[in-house]
Chains A and B, each alone.
Chain A
């Protein structure tokens, strides 16, 4: 209820004084006053003639059944025809439980002032008030432009004032039985009044406003708190949380359009960005933002901007791109009522299917591949995917991701190394990659000392070459993060005996292990080495690498690690299995995109 406006009011102030030109809805007030009077006529009511404290019954509420009440036109017009020093800035006034917000706009000659004011519930959040202020400002700017261009507002003002005068000039008797107010006449005669009415109606019904002021200036506006509500009555998405979501969006995320792409293309304005059209043409829920950007020939940052746009206007939502390994469950806030309107719509979409029946299949975490049966007709498979898409669009399903925590000791997770340690390892990596020289970085010194072990041979060309080869190996992709491993002395072996190479290999591998484990404390090291898989340097390398990158602290789900490190799911799953004694896995939703569900935790 809170995002809905109570009323929209147009006030002008010029040389002839201030006047309320139009308000909508206007019928409510009259009705309420009639009701009020009939209440007074209650024969059992006590009438107190003598009021001791001189206080008329305090008025504490100005809202009656979702409409503004208790303000006469004159009161409103004196309140909203502000002094010149308050123009062109935010106007906010709260009276009892009603909050008025508007942007008083000065027209060309700085004498005429117009103020389009929205009456809201006082409890409406600040972001809602801000959005309404923005809308008032936009309308004001459009009016100013049209006034400058062709004196539109002066003309409309004249029409409205005439209608007011006409009604008040009617003879007494006629007025009594003629129920219509000046506002009825104004609605018939003024396009501006009709525009304001449609603004109000749009805000109540969808939260999306598209009007053309004077059939010329386009004013479009989106009230995110309302647009994202869908069927959830008291669920409000604040624009701030949309921005937060955009901040945490990654290239591996995907878009899911909430409307048919053809419909979206049809409703797009003729001057819409061609990039957006291209994007929607290439759209598929199977594609990540990165793929979409490549397909639509956009840069990634452009892609993010367009995604943000679609997200804000509730044309799309963010998902992890559909794939067979995605695991879904029912969203905690999904309506399960037998008679919920969604079940009806679902049956219309997928004849013969029952939404609740289909949903109940997702009571346990279920992946698409689990639901796929190779014996099924391809048509069925297709329908299954479509149903999942439909349920995702209506936010009935939630995707679970696997997060991994590295917990080598019983005392819990190894706490993130302090910034110093991390920085050190980085700078180390950096210097060694930059110039494979003999700078006395620990890495190099170690390898030199290895050289010293080798039969008292002085560090020579081969060591140099091995050092260089380390760097060569490390630099491409930087994925190994400065761990000079896998050198296996291929360059060295060319000019050495085989046995020597073996010795070197062994030395190297123990060295490698030591280096890999250098980040860990003694306790952690023993815990890791206890695991049989730790004997395999490749596995150990991968684990150390993931640890060092901070992927095993529960902030990155498997898909993200796969994306960032460019490794396969099977590889990762194997690793999780091998090191399960020191790793803890956990299945939860992706917090980055959880804002679309009302249970989300921030």
Chain B
């Protein structure tokens, strides 16, 4: 039923594509998919008739009965003015931003209106919230300037055309430009992404897309300065030093790049690192496409690609207690034409392997806290060796020599 309704609106181009990919059965509440706008309507509080829809595209999508049932959430009490209200009822999701304009010229000394977007009940609607807000503010201005909404002579013809354009453009291009006299108004549906996790000194940013695709002028100057040093091997502290940019600025840049899905964070590569295969490794055995990409990524030279079995053997040999150094000694990747650093990179990016971190924990009683130096104070079990080494400027070997002399410090690998 839903699909047929989608096809009625031939202009829902981006969405129809999505329909082809997923089965109809996947549209249930909570499926976390975005859906098209089904309808846009404007309603106002009429001085005598009460709440009513003044303009709707397409016509009669929201019937009189439905509207009466939900009007209390669309023209709400004063306390809820200028709040984003979303009500999910009777198979639709109605998103609105109620507005009140106080002025003596109106019948009740105030004009109430609400511009509402309607989606299916299963669809996400958060991404439309800023658009509704912006469009409502635009309407306020137009109303203040030329009684765009409240003038009965207007017959709402321009408004109807405008809403129609907004709906069609947002559904097709996910953005819309409205021109009204001399003012231009841009609306865009922005993808809501999660807040990126904090970036630490010892982590390594790596591009997950082709680099040339975004080497455009879109980034700020600091990011420009940082970008050339992101090569998948330099960690944050090193990038900061080499790019001559303050450490925290680099972190902010990288976090921003993460937000846009351009880079991802990896643990620093060392031959003393331990990795372990994950259940996802099975994908490499099953997925031909992934196999091709993997071979291409990890090969030492383009002309002589390595054998998949050798790659697979490298990955599957990764387990607790086996360092990359051990692996290299045992399997000798160079004659196999495998670049082990790229191998680890690819495995981490695709989740085929995960890093096993080492945490030093000081088990001695806490009575001599003051006597401890800063290195020992970091043995709380919260900081991994990577972090500690990076903070104290130690190499892994130096660190191990230090810890070996301490009977009270245990190492936990996880």
A360, B412: Cβ atoms closer than 8 Å: yes
B321, A365: Cβ atoms closer than 8 Å: yes
Can you show 29 pairs from A to B with CB atoms below 8 A apart?
A: A70-B79, A79-B76, A85-B69, A86-B70, A89-B89, A91-B89, A93-B86, A95-B80, A95-B85, A130-B30, A335-B381, A337-B380, A338-B363, A338-B380, A356-B363, A356-B410, A359-B412, A360-B410, A364-B413, A403-B282, A405-B316, A411-B309, A412-B309, A553-B286, A554-B285, A585-B316, A586-B281, A590-B279, A599-B354
Which of B288, B308, B310 has the most C-beta atoms of chain A within 10 angstroms of its own C-beta? B308
User: Is A56 close to B, CB under 8 A?
Assistant: yes
B69, A83: Cβ atoms closer than 8 Å: yes
Cβ proximity bits B53-74 to A, threshold 8 Å, 1 near / 0 not: 0000000000001001110110
A410, B308: Cβ atoms closer than 8 Å: yes
Chain B residue at minimum C-beta to C-beta distance from A91: B89
In the complex, which residues of chain A have a beta carbon less than 8 angstroms from the beta carbon of B363?
A: 338, 354, 356-357
Cβ proximity bits B282-319 to A, threshold 8 Å, 1 near / 0 not: 10011010010000000000000001111011011001
**How far, in angstroms, from A458 to B352 measured CA to CA in the complex?**
59
Q: In the complex, which of the residues B87, B278, B282 contacts A92, with contact meaning CB atoms closer than 8 Å?
A: B87
**How far, in angstroms, from A99 to B6 measured CA to CA in the complex?**
28
Given the known inter-chain contacts A86-B89, A356-B381, A587-B277, please indicate yes or no for A59 contacting B82, CB distance below 8 A. yes
B77, A75: Cβ atoms closer than 8 Å: yes
In the complex, which residues of chain B have a beta carbon less than 8 angstroms from the beta carbon of A329?
A: 320, 413-414
Which of B29, B85, B276, B313 has the most C-beta atoms of chain A within 10 angstroms of its own C-beta? B276
A336, B381: Cβ atoms closer than 8 Å: yes
A357, B308: Cβ atoms closer than 8 Å: no
A363, B316: Cβ atoms closer than 8 Å: no
Q: How many residues of B contact A (CB 8 A)?
A: 63
Chain B residue at minimum C-beta to C-beta distance from A125: B30
In the complex, which residues of chain B have a beta carbon less than 8 angstroms from the beta carbon of A357?
A: 363, 410
Given the known inter-chain contacts A78-B77, A356-B363, please indicate yes or no for A412 contacting B285, CB distance below 8 A. yes
User: Is A589 close to B, CB under 8 A?
Assistant: yes
Cβ proximity bits A8-35 to B, threshold 8 Å, 1 near / 0 not: 0000000000000000000000000000
Cβ proximity bits B382-414 to A, threshold 8 Å, 1 near / 0 not: 100000000000000000000000000011111
In the complex, which residues of chain B have a beta carbon less than 8 angstroms from the beta carbon of A44?
A: none
In the complex, which residues of chain A have a beta carbon less than 8 angstroms from the beta carbon of B77?
A: 74-75, 78
Q: In the complex, which of the residues B30, B90, B320, B362 contacts A364, with contact meaning CB atoms closer than 8 Å?
A: B320
Chain A nearest CB: distance from B63 CB in Å?
12
A96, B83: Cβ atoms closer than 8 Å: yes
User: Is B102 close to A, CB under 8 A?
Assistant: yes
Which of B32, B315, B382 has the most C-beta atoms of chain A within 10 angstroms of its own C-beta? B382
Given the known inter-chain contacts A54-B102, A86-B89, A591-B279, please indicate yes or no for A360 contacting B411, CB distance below 8 A. yes
**How far, in angstroms, from A59 to B85 measured CA to CA in the complex?**
12
Chain A nearest CB: distance from B341 CB in Å?
21
User: Is A332 close to B, CB under 8 A?
Assistant: yes
User: Is A55 close to B, CB under 8 A?
Assistant: yes
A-B contacts, CB under 8 A, total: 183
In the complex, which residues of chain A have a beta carbon less than 8 angstroms from the beta carbon of B279?
A: 588-591, 594, 601
A363, B413: Cβ atoms closer than 8 Å: yes
**How far, in angstroms, from A332 to B414 measured CA to CA in the complex?**
5
User: Is B351 close to A, CB under 8 A?
Assistant: yes
In the complex, which residues of chain A have a beta carbon less than 8 angstroms from the beta carbon of B76?
A: 75, 78-79
**How far, in angstroms, from A212 to B183 measured CA to CA in the complex?**
63
In the complex, which residues of chain A have a beta carbon less than 8 angstroms from the beta carbon of B88?
A: 90, 92-94
User: Is A413 close to B, CB under 8 A?
Assistant: yes
How many interface residues does chain A have, given as a range? 35 or more
- Give residues of chain A (557-595) contacting chain B, Cβ–Cβ below 8 Å: 584-591, 594
User: Is B249 close to A, CB under 8 A?
Assistant: no
User: Is A141 close to B, CB under 8 A?
Assistant: no
User: Is A409 close to B, CB under 8 A?
Assistant: yes
B320, A365: Cβ atoms closer than 8 Å: yes
Chain B residue at minimum C-beta to C-beta distance from A409: B309
**How far, in angstroms, from A335 to B359 measured CA to CA in the complex?**
11
In the complex, which residues of chain A have a beta carbon less than 8 angstroms from the beta carbon of B90?
A: 86
Q: In the complex, which of the residues B69, B79, B320, B321 contacts A75, with contact meaning CB atoms closer than 8 Å?
A: B79
Chain B residue at minimum C-beta to C-beta distance from A55: B82
B79, A413: Cβ atoms closer than 8 Å: no
B32, A126: Cβ atoms closer than 8 Å: yes
Q: In the complex, which of the residues B65, B291, B310 contacts A410, with contact meaning CB atoms closer than 8 Å?
A: B310
B309, A94: Cβ atoms closer than 8 Å: no
A93, B414: Cβ atoms closer than 8 Å: no
Given the known inter-chain contacts A95-B83, A336-B382, A363-B411, please indicate yes or no for A412 contacting B312, CB distance below 8 A. yes
Given the known inter-chain contacts A92-B87, A363-B413, please indicate yes or no for A336 contacting B309, CB distance below 8 A. no
B316, A586: Cβ atoms closer than 8 Å: yes
Cβ proximity bits B11-40 to A, threshold 8 Å, 1 near / 0 not: 000000000000000000110100000000
Chain B nearest CB: distance from A432 CB in Å?
31
**How far, in angstroms, from A53 to B137 measured CA to CA in the complex?**
10
In the complex, which residues of chain A have a beta carbon less than 8 angstroms from the beta carbon of B285?
A: 405, 407, 412-413, 553-554
B320, A78: Cβ atoms closer than 8 Å: no
B276, A588: Cβ atoms closer than 8 Å: yes
In the complex, which residues of chain B have a beta carbon less than 8 angstroms from the beta carbon of A410?
A: 307-310
**How far, in angstroms, from A92 to B88 measured CA to CA in the complex?**
5
Given the known inter-chain contacts A96-B83, A330-B413, A363-B412, please indicate yes or no for A356 contacting B310, CB distance below 8 A. no
Q: In the complex, which of the residues B79, B278, B354 contacts A71, with contact meaning CB atoms closer than 8 Å?
A: B79
Besides A86-B69, A412-B307, 20 more A-B contacts (Cβ < 8 Å) are A75-B77, A82-B69, A94-B88, A95-B84, A329-B414, A337-B381, A338-B362, A338-B380, A357-B410, A360-B361, A360-B411, A360-B412, A363-B411, A364-B413, A365-B321, A413-B286, A413-B309, A416-B286, A586-B315, A590-B279
**How far, in angstroms, from A591 to B77 measured CA to CA in the complex?**
51
User: Is A446 close to B, CB under 8 A?
Assistant: no
User: Is A58 close to B, CB under 8 A?
Assistant: yes
Chain B residue at minimum C-beta to C-beta distance from A238: B30
**How far, in angstroms, from A403 to B356 measured CA to CA in the complex?**
20
Cβ proximity bits A110-127 to B, threshold 8 Å, 1 near / 0 not: 000000000000000111
- Give residues of chain A (380-411) contacting chain B, Cβ–Cβ below 8 Å: 400, 403, 405, 407, 409-411
In the complex, which residues of chain B have a beta carbon less than 8 angstroms from the beta carbon of A407?
A: 285, 309, 312
Chain A residue at minimum C-beta to C-beta distance from B313: A584
- Give residues of chain B (309-345) contacting chain A, Cβ–Cβ below 8 Å: 309-310, 312-313, 315-316, 319-321
Chain A nearest CB: distance from B150 CB in Å?
15
Chain A nearest CB: distance from B384 CB in Å?
9
**How far, in angstroms, from A262 to B73 measured CA to CA in the complex?**
51
User: Is B348 close to A, CB under 8 A?
Assistant: no
**How far, in angstroms, from A336 to B281 measured CA to CA in the complex?**
27
Chain A nearest CB: distance from B179 CB in Å?
22
Given the known inter-chain contacts A86-B69, A91-B89, A410-B309, please indicate yes or no for A336 contacting B359, CB distance below 8 A. yes
User: Is A63 close to B, CB under 8 A?
Assistant: no
User: Is A334 close to B, CB under 8 A?
Assistant: yes
**How far, in angstroms, from A241 to B85 measured CA to CA in the complex?**
31
**How far, in angstroms, from A400 to B277 measured CA to CA in the complex?**
11
In the complex, which residues of chain B have a beta carbon less than 8 angstroms from the beta carbon of A413?
A: 285-286, 308-309, 312
User: Is A47 close to B, CB under 8 A?
Assistant: no
User: Is B140 close to A, CB under 8 A?
Assistant: yes
In the complex, which residues of chain B have a beta carbon less than 8 angstroms from the beta carbon of A599?
A: 354
Chain B nearest CB: distance from A563 CB in Å?
19
A364, B321: Cβ atoms closer than 8 Å: yes
In the complex, which residues of chain A have a beta carbon less than 8 angstroms from the beta carbon of B29?
A: 126, 130
**How far, in angstroms, from A195 to B101 measured CA to CA in the complex?**
43
Chain B nearest CB: distance from A86 CB in Å?
6
The 5 A-B pairs with the shortest beta carbon distances in the complex, nearest first, are: A126-B30, A412-B308, A586-B316, A336-B381, A410-B307
User: Is A331 close to B, CB under 8 A?
Assistant: yes
User: Is B147 close to A, CB under 8 A?
Assistant: no
Chain A residue at minimum C-beta to C-beta distance from B30: A126
**How far, in angstroms, from A335 to B282 measured CA to CA in the complex?**
28
B277, A586: Cβ atoms closer than 8 Å: yes
A93, B73: Cβ atoms closer than 8 Å: yes
In the complex, which residues of chain A have a beta carbon less than 8 angstroms from the beta carbon of B381?
A: 335-338, 340, 356
**How far, in angstroms, from A130 to B122 measured CA to CA in the complex?**
13
